[in-house]
């Protein structure tokens, strides 16, 4: 059995007892990647030399008896839109295929401070734009449960690497569901923290008012450990929130008696696969059996969320990606013309089709004569969606529903229909627009593929959603089931 099947406290016990070393954990990770990643394609860049060097240093620290970090010795993967000093960061785009950052993102530094071992950088949809990981310019990631299906996106590599047992945990980024949806498709735990809880400094921006970094893990307890390590105020991030960071691990009590659950009728209605709906209703019965109560409610502006999200996120992408011009960094396509030719050639060849589509949509929405009709109206809808959640949380502790309307779909089945692809995020987007936290936890299977249960909480109340997710997990065994590669 892989060492990565163990919970984090058990791995730390084994390290302390000298039953295993950090170097052995690292070598196991690299060996599994060598064996399995030819099928999965989760990793874009491996940090073999750096990981082995870090492991040796941590083994020396263990031998000396020095204080150890919260994630001591654990092999981790990092989504490839989070910059890592000296380690190639591509955003899965040809535009950045030669980009070597000169500094670390705050979360990358925090992983080092917590004594984790960075194994490498993980595949994703180009510039985090996509819901299937088929938009990567380095080839699609495949779902470990069924290699003919997508892992979800944009953090598909982050979810697949954990599901395949290649790393102990990973970091992803979530703009409209890009942690939670692939977590659902791949049968792992994916947490999107409240906007501002985790620093975005060093995260290559897609939509700055929506992007948030979070962990993907095998179980809820490990998710709480990783969040504890990466959360906190960062003066280098102007959107970072100055809030007190609680002890997330102490919230994992297993007790949900008296918990008030809201179940939006919009999350179980048309468009949600019948088998997914039944799996989620079965999960609610488990929580009910533990003393929780649930009622059906309405989030009336949910139907406008997808349209508002794609207008807002594409507008922000249009602005954020203007810096990629072939001059400052990244690939330059200079064929001897003028400056405008340089811009056009570099951007035309550097960006993939989905990135170009969203840049054009965003530029149009921000243009003179259309700003009020599209961008401004979308911002007003965003406010209404946030108010919907605020009203619900006056009476209920959490909101629960499916993470995605279906299980993972076949590779190539939706690439010609971007609107259908966009609708796969209909249940995760409202949470992102509201800036509140949510976690996807495995709750069963439909036709052999994992189904995720989305637990949504009040802003900066990660403790409650982790408590509920952990209690549910402790009374089921869905998280223990692993794909056979």
How do 212-217 and 189-192 pair as beta strands?
antiparallel
Q: How confident is the model at residue 259 (pLDDT cuts 50, 70, 90)?
A: very high
In sequence order, which residues have a C-beta less than 8 Å from that of residue 235 and are 6 or more positions away? Answer: none
Over residues 95-116, the mean pLDDT reads: 97
Please report the pLDDT score of residue 369 as a whole number.
87
Question: Has residue 419 got a pLDDT over 80?
Answer: no
CA distance 81 to 78: 8
CA distance 307 to 314: 11
- 132, 155, 178, 315: the active-site residue: 178
- 21, 29, 79, 93: the active-site residue: 79
The token pair at 400 is 């629960």
CA distance 368 to 365: 9
Per-residue exposure over 289-317, b if at least 16 CB sit within 10 Å of its own CB, e if not = ebebebeebebebbebbbebbbbbbbbbb
CA distance 398 to 143: 30
Please report the pLDDT score of residue 270 as a whole number.
85
How do 293-297 and 260-264 pair as beta strands?
parallel
Strand partners, 216: 170, 190
Question: Has residue 163 got a pLDDT over 80?
Answer: yes
pLDDT tens digits along 453-462: 999 999 999 9
Please report the pLDDT score of residue 299 as a whole number.
97
Give me the CATH code for the 3-258+439-448+462-480 domain, please: 3.90.1300.10
CA distance 314 to 365: 8
Average pLDDT of the residues of the chain: 96
Q: How confident is the model at residue 53 (pLDDT cuts 50, 70, 90)?
A: very high
Q: Is 154 a catalytic residue?
A: yes
pLDDT tens digits along 334-345: 888 889 999 999
Residues 186, 22 contacting (CB under 8 angstroms): no
pLDDT tens digits along 22-37: 999 999 999 999 999 9
| H or E segment and range at residue 215 | strand 212-217
Tokens 């892989």 belong to residue: 2
The side-by-side arrangement of strands in the sheet containing 212-217 is 43-46, 117-122, 75-79, 169-174, 212-217, 189-192, 438-446, 449-456, 398-402, 260-264, 293-297
Intra-chain end-to-end CA distance of the chain, in Å: 14
Q: Is 121 a catalytic residue?
A: no
In sequence order, which residues have a C-beta less than 8 Å from that of residue 375 and are 6 or more positions away? Answer: 311, 312, 315, 365, 366
Question: Has residue 466 got a pLDDT over 70?
Answer: yes
Q: 130-134, 209-213, 329-333: which has the minimum mean pLDDT? A: 329-333
Please report the pLDDT score of residue 1 as a whole number.
62
- 154, 158, 184, 315: the active-site residue: 154
Please report the pLDDT score of residue 485 as a whole number.
82
Instruction: State the pTM of this model.
Output: 0.96
Please report the pLDDT score of residue 478 as a whole number.
86
More confident residue, 438 or 337: 438
Question: CA angle, corner 387, sides to 385 and 388, nearest 5?
Answer: 65
Q: How confident is the model at residue 330 (pLDDT cuts 50, 70, 90)?
A: confident
What DSSP letter does each residue of 32-48 carry, written as one string?
Answer: HHHHHHHHH--EEEE-H
CA distance 257 to 260: 9
Domain boundaries, the chain: 3-258+439-448+462-480
Over residues 347-366, the mean pLDDT reads: 95
Over residues 239-249, the mean pLDDT reads: 98
Helix, coil or strand: residue 345: helix
Instruction: Please tell me which of 337-346, 378-387, 408-417 the model is most confident about, judged by mean pLDDT.
Output: 378-387
What DSSP letter does each residue of 293-311 carry, written as one string?
Answer: EEEEE--TTGGGHHHHHHH
pLDDT tens digits along 171-197: 999 999 999 999 999 999 999 999 999
* Phi, psi values for residue 309, rounded to 5°: -60, -50
Q: Is 265 a catalytic residue?
A: no
């Amino acid at each position: 059995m892989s060492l990565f099947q163990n919970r984090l406290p058990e791995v730390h016990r084994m390290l302390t007892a000298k039953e295993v070393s950090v170097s052995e954990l690292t070598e196991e990770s690299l060996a599994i990647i060598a064996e399995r990643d030819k099928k999965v394609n989760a990793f874009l860049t491996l940090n073999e030399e750096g990981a082995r060097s870090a492991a040796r240093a941590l083994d020396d620290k263990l031998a000396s008896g020095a204080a150890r970090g919260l994630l001591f010795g654990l092999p981790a993967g990092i989504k490839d839109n989070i910059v890592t000093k000296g380690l190639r960061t591509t955003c899965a785009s040809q535009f950045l295929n030669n980009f070597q950052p000169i500094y670390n993102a705050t979360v990358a530094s925090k992983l080092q401070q917590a004594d984790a071992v960075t194994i490498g950088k993980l595949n994703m949809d180009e510039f985090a734009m996509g819901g299937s990981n088929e938009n990567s310019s380095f080839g699609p990631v495949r779902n470990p449960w069924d290699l003919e299906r997508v892992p979800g996106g944009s953090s598909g590599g982050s979810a697949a690497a954990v599901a395949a047992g290649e790393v102990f945990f990973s970091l992803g980024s979530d703009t409209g569901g890009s942690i939670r949806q692939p977590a659902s498709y791949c049968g792992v735990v994916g947490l999107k923290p409240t906007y501002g809880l985790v620093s975005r400094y060093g995260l290559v921006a897609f939509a700055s008012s929506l992007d948030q970094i979070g962990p993907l893990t095998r179980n809820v307890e490990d998710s709480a450990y990783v969040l504890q390590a990466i959360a906190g105020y960062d003066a280098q991030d102007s959107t970072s929130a100055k809030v007190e960071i609680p002890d997330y691990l102490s919230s994992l009590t297993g007790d949900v008696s008296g918990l008030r659950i809201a179940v939006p009728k919009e999350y179980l209605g048309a468009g949600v696969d019948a088998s997914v709906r039944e799996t989620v209703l079965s999960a609610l019965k488990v929580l009910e059996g533990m003393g929780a109560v649930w009622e059906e409610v309405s989030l009336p502006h949910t139907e406008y969320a997808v349209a508002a999200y794609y207008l807002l996120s594409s507008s922000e992408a249009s602005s954020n990606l203007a810096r990629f011009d072939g001059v400052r960094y990244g690939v330059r396509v200079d064929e001897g013309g003028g400056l405008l030719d340089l811009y056009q050639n570099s951007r035309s060849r550097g960006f993939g089709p989905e990135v170009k589509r969203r840049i054009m949509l965003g530029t149009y929405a921000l243009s003179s004569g259309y700003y009020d009709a599209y961008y401004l109206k979308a911002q007003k809808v965003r406010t209404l969606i946030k108010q919907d959640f605020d009203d619900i949380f006056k009476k209920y502790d959490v909101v629960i529903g499916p993470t995605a309307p279906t299980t993972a779909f076949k590779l190539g089945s939706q690439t010609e229909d971007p609107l259908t692809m966009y609708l796969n995020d209909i249940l995760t987007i409202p949470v992102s627009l509201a800036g509140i936290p949510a976690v996807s936890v495995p709750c069963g299977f439909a036709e052999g593929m994992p189904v995720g249960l989305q637990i949504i909480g009040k802003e900066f109340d990660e403790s409650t959603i982790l408590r509920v997710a952990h209690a549910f997990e402790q009374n089921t065994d869905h998280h223990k089931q692993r794909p056979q590669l």
